[in-house]
Amino acid sequence: MTEKDLLDLKEEIKTVETKVSELKGQQQMLMKQLKETYGCDTIEEAEKKLKTMLKKILIIQNKIEKGTKELEEKYGS
């Protein structure tokens, strides 16, 4: 390995370290936002909350569909 190869490798390592640092900062920001917006401290908590929210959405959609069908039957469309 030549001196130039080593210098190139050193520069590549610096670039990767900078990128890793940026990504860690973004992750911290997103985790803070997750906590503030949804009250979740972990990804697992957020996934559970998402499942609960999706179930609630399905229940509401079913109620809307049922109500719409009843109105159509009652008043025609």
Each residue of 28-47: pLDDT tens digit? 999 999 999 999 999 999 99
Same domain, 6 and 35: yes
* One domain for residues 26 and 55: no
Mean pLDDT, residues 15-24 taken together: 98
Q: What is the pLDDT of residue 76?
A: 80
Residues 52 and 35 in one domain: no
- Specify whether 22 is located in the same domain as 10: yes
Q: What is the pLDDT of residue 7?
A: 93
pLDDT of 77 strictly over 70: no
In a shared domain, residues 14 and 3: yes
Domain that holds residue 20: 1-39
One domain, residues 34 and 2: yes
Average pLDDT, the chain: 95
Indicate the DSSP class of residue 26.
Answer: H
- Residue 24 three-state SS: helix
pLDDT for residue 24: 98
Per-residue b or e along 6-41, where b marks 16 or more CB atoms closer than 10 Å to that residue's CB: eeeeeeeeeeeeeeeeeeeeeeeeeeeebeeeeebe
Domain count, the chain: 2
Q: What is the largest distance, in Å, between two alpha-carbon atoms of the chain?
A: 85
